[in-house]
Amino acid sequence: MSIQTKISNSTERRSHFWAAALPYLLITPTLFFVVVFTLLPLLHVTYSSMFAENQAVQVPKFIGAGNYTSLFTDPGFHDVFVNTLIYVIVTVPVSVFLALVLALLLNRKFRALGLYRLAFFYPTVLPMVSAATIWLFMYTPDYGLLNVFIEFFHIPSQNWLGEPRLALIALMILGIWKQTGYFMVFFLAGLQGLPHDIFESAKLDGANILQSIYYITLPLLMGTTLFVTTIAVINAFETVDQIYIMTGGGPINSTSMLLFDLWQTLFSYMDVGRASAMSVILIVVLLIFTIVNFVTTERRATYE
Amino acid sequence: MQNKRFTILSILIVLVLLAGALSGCAPAATSAPAQPPATAPAATEAPATTAPAATSAPVELTFYYPVAVAGPITQIIDGYISQFEAANPGIKVNAVLSGGYGDTLTKIQTTIKGGGTPPDVAVLLSTDLYSLVDANAIMPLDDYVKAAGGDTFTSDFYPAYLANSNYQNHIWSLPFQRSIPVLYYNRDMFKAAGLDDTKGPANYAEMVADAQKLTKPDGSVWGIEISSDGIPYWLFQSFVIGNGSNVFTAANKVTFDTPEVAQALQDFVDLPNKDKVMPPGVLLWANMPNDFVNGKAAMIWHSSGSLTNILKQAKFNVGVSYTVGEKGYGAPTGGGNLYMLKGIPADHQAAAWKFIQFMTSVDTQADWSIKTGYVASRQSSYNTQAMKDHIAQVPQAAVAAAGLQYAGPELATHDNAQIQKFLGDAVQAALTGKSTIADALKSAQQQADQVLSQFSQ
């Protein structure tokens, strides 16, 4: 009897142990990859950012915050930071807004609907490098498509990529064109999931189209909007291919953005310390955005 | 019972996954002991002592080369390698197309930083010399050059090209795919404008005068187009060298902020702003040949390497002349050299030198020049029958080589890419009116001085 109890006790304890350990075991593979490919590199890059390591200093030398102070006092890096912010602040709202408008327009039945949807979605399918090459031709002075178009309205031909005040705008137009169709698809999916009865009752109550969009559609699409905005912000920070293809960051630094500058610092200038400090800054900026986004999403969830 | 089985199953899955994950990173650990040379890069001779056993087996060289001009470059290179292997039965060459110049340098630098084995031979920019020496990535070729005849061997290379190979009394590379900016002009337009179409402008003043006659007031034709995108410092150096000066004096000393350089930049900026013979703003490098062959621009400055492509596309008579400054012709050199990388076994070194010698031989250089438009790096290449026949057919091909007598060295310093960007930014800032010429050059000089102060010579 006593033996019997002992056995049952020990199996119970053992199964208790397994029950407690199982969740940890289950997340081990994921944790392993997160640690090896995210956390360790993160710590490593933070560590290297405190060292001078470049073409002049082949053996890393500890300089504390030296890379950061030199970055923050560098007018070139200041330009890069401002360009990135402008790009984010302009492309995110504009492409999200346009995508919503397109989705609302295309969320009804009319002739050649599929064709329109295809046309607006098409830029998404193109690889960014091909899209940038196409736009490179469109922006060509004098005989480029865009200049031929504006000359039709008696606006003189512009050197889109060759003027500092226009080059960033030219890149933003490409960025918006490229991603709007993609976001439109999310909004379309969102719109098609909305219940019809609410709109019908609103109609009966005398709400016009704008009112029902503003008071019903938009609040119900909040989840989609937040998701799309997140993607748009990430896209904006990840802008690098089109800069590489179209402007190389120029004229002067007018189109250079964080990720491109980071790439250039590491692979053209071989400045490991400075590039590490730039990575840390990029990570911090993205972290701030993620926290803000997380907090607002949480609030929306409680609000609903 | 069922629950328990599930638990065991889950644990098994986790273990399998974990094993998979660990084995994913295992090769790095297991392969590390297999390559002791990588952990002891200082001991370059060490692998040689283990090598003799393998002398009968062919030496396998790895050769990295970038592609920087249009054309069937890979086929041409593969052709040379078959020729080389046929003549040297003990050597095999694996040619690796490594992207552009920047990609090739990046690949090699990251390999060295990561403790891996670099390729044996690579084509890299002639101006990468100081960065490569600083990174301890390349080997001097002195002993091999001496054995090949010393000065008698090197004297056949164009001095302007060989200038990029010397540093600290060592010779580090041999010129392979070299170029020079030239002035392409539309001979039909010259004739129509009443200009002498047998020669291009001899100096800056003549070029402006010609461009004014060639520019159509309605904007359909520009007299001249000079790109200031990509590597803006390069074509700008033509102005400076044509003014009898240059933008640097040593590997750690640039002279951006001098009256001669300021005058050269003024000349560049005057073309669009004062004389209105060039479109304003920064002009893209890739658009220039298109503008020229389509009759949008009567003259352009571009690499001699674009000759083959331009002749193929132009439907008019193309004239080739030299880029100019105020005092006359002037141009920087450009292009890539062959380097031998450090840390390769001794038997590879001898084979690598044979390969470098073959690729820079009189006949290979003549053939390479005929097929691509690069300037042959050796003067005797222009006395070969093949080259004579080619020039009889395409007389423009002889122009670039003859222009080398007016050439000065391309901007090459420590931390080269960054220094070149400082000057390039100054050129762009002046051209786009973002800052005055004086301010732009002063700031470029300050930035460059700050970087270069870290290097003692």
Mind listing the pLDDT tens digit for each residue in A220-240?
Answer: 888 888 889 888 998 899 899
- Look at B229 and A250 and tell me if their CB atoms are within 8 Å: yes
In this structure, the answer to whether residues A122 and A190 fall within a common structural domain is yes
Among the residue ranges A10-14, A204-208, B253-257, B370-374, the one predicted with the least confidence is A10-14
In this structure, the answer to whether residues A143 and A32 fall within a common structural domain is no
**In one letter, which amino acid is B386?**
A
Res B26 pLDDT > 60: no
In this structure, the answer to whether residues A264 and A224 fall within a common structural domain is yes
In this structure, the answer to whether residues A203 and A298 fall within a common structural domain is yes
Return the SS3 of B214: helix
The whole-number pLDDT of residue B62 equals 95
- Asked whether residue A62 is assigned to any structural domain, the reply reads no
CB of A162 less than 8 A from some CB of B:
yes
- Asked whether residue A129 is assigned to any structural domain, the reply reads yes
The whole-number pLDDT of residue B56 equals 59
Structure tokens at A289: 């955005």
Closest residue in A to B22 (Cα) is A32
Q: Give the count of domains, chain A.
A: 2
Q: Using CB atoms, which residue from A22, A164, A248 is nearest to B432?
A: A164
Greater confidence, B102 or B269? B269
Res A303 pLDDT > 50: no
- Asked whether residue A276 is assigned to any structural domain, the reply reads yes
The whole-number pLDDT of residue A9 equals 65
Mean pLDDT, residues B336-348: 92
What are the pLDDT digits (tens) for A41-84? Answer: 999 999 999 999 988 888 899 998 999 999 999 888 999 999 99
The CA distance from A243 to A251, in Å, is: 11
In this structure, the answer to whether residues A124 and A173 fall within a common structural domain is yes
- Look at B11 and A18 and tell me if their CB atoms are within 8 Å: yes
In this structure, the answer to whether residues A21 and A162 fall within a common structural domain is no
Judging by beta carbons within 10 Å of its beta carbon (0-12, 13-18, 19+), is residue B122 exposed, middle or buried? buried
In this structure, the answer to whether residues A10 and A120 fall within a common structural domain is no
- Look at B296 and A142 and tell me if their CB atoms are within 8 Å: yes
The whole-number pLDDT of residue A5 equals 58
The CA distance from A38 to B421, in Å, is: 33
In this structure, the answer to whether residues A269 and A149 fall within a common structural domain is yes
Among the residue ranges A172-176, B40-44, B91-95, B341-345, the one predicted with the least confidence is B40-44
Query: Is the predicted ipTM greater than 0.85, yes or no?
Result: no
**In one letter, which amino acid is A85?**
L
Q: What is the CATH number of the domain that holds A233?
A: 1.10.3720.10
- Asked whether residue A49 is assigned to any structural domain, the reply reads no
The residue range of the domain holding A9 is: 3-37
Q: Using CB atoms, which residue from A19, A162, A164 is nearest to B284?
A: A162
- Asked whether residue A235 is assigned to any structural domain, the reply reads yes
Res A112 pLDDT > 70: yes
In this structure, the answer to whether residues A31 and A78 fall within a common structural domain is no
Percent of chain A with pLDDT over 90: 49
- Look at A58 and B25 and tell me if their CB atoms are within 8 Å: no
End-to-end CA distance of chain A: 58
pLDDT-derived band at B116, boundaries 50, 70, 90: confident
What are the pLDDT digits (tens) for B375-402? Answer: 999 999 999 999 999 999 999 989 989 9
Structure tokens at B29: 């650990």
Res B457 pLDDT > 80: no
Q: Torsion angle, CA of B365/B370/B372/B376, rounded to 10 degrees?
A: 30
The whole-number pLDDT of residue B138 equals 94
In this structure, the answer to whether residues A33 and A72 fall within a common structural domain is no
Number of neighbouring beta carbons within 10 Å of residue B179 = 27
Q: What is the number of CB-based contacts under 8 A between chain A and chain B?
A: 109
pLDDT-derived band at B44, boundaries 50, 70, 90: very low
The CA distance from A23 to A17, in Å, is: 11
pLDDT-derived band at B409, boundaries 50, 70, 90: very high
Q: Residue A25: its chain B contacts at CB < 8 A?
A: 10-11, 14
| Smallest Cα distance from B399 to chain A, Å | 30
The whole-number pLDDT of residue B218 equals 83
The whole-number pLDDT of residue A300 equals 59
In this structure, the answer to whether residues A275 and A177 fall within a common structural domain is yes
Greater confidence, A294 or B198? B198
B453 DSSP assignment: T
Mean pLDDT, residues B140-157: 92
Closest residue in A to B106 (Cα) is A267
CB of B229 less than 8 A from some CB of A:
yes
Greater confidence, B11 or B434? B434
CB of A251 less than 8 A from some CB of B:
yes
Number of neighbouring beta carbons within 10 Å of residue B197 = 17
Number of neighbouring beta carbons within 10 Å of residue B129 = 24
The CA distance from B448 to B418, in Å, is: 8
- Look at A252 and B219 and tell me if their CB atoms are within 8 Å: no
Greater confidence, A176 or A299? A176
Res A6 pLDDT > 70: no
CB of A225 less than 8 A from some CB of B:
no
- Asked whether residue A51 is assigned to any structural domain, the reply reads no
pLDDT-derived band at B286, boundaries 50, 70, 90: confident
- Look at B282 and A270 and tell me if their CB atoms are within 8 Å: no
- Look at A159 and B429 and tell me if their CB atoms are within 8 Å: no
In this structure, the answer to whether residues A24 and A112 fall within a common structural domain is no
The whole-number pLDDT of residue B10 equals 52
The whole-number pLDDT of residue B127 equals 94
- Asked whether residue A177 is assigned to any structural domain, the reply reads yes
Structure tokens at A157: 């031909």
Phi first, then psi: give them for residue B225, nearest 5 degrees. -135, 125
- Asked whether residue A63 is assigned to any structural domain, the reply reads no
Average pLDDT across chain B, whole number: 87
Mean pLDDT, residues B263-288: 94
Under 8 Å between Cβ of A247 and A167: yes
Greater confidence, B54 or A243? A243
Mean pLDDT, residues A153-158: 86
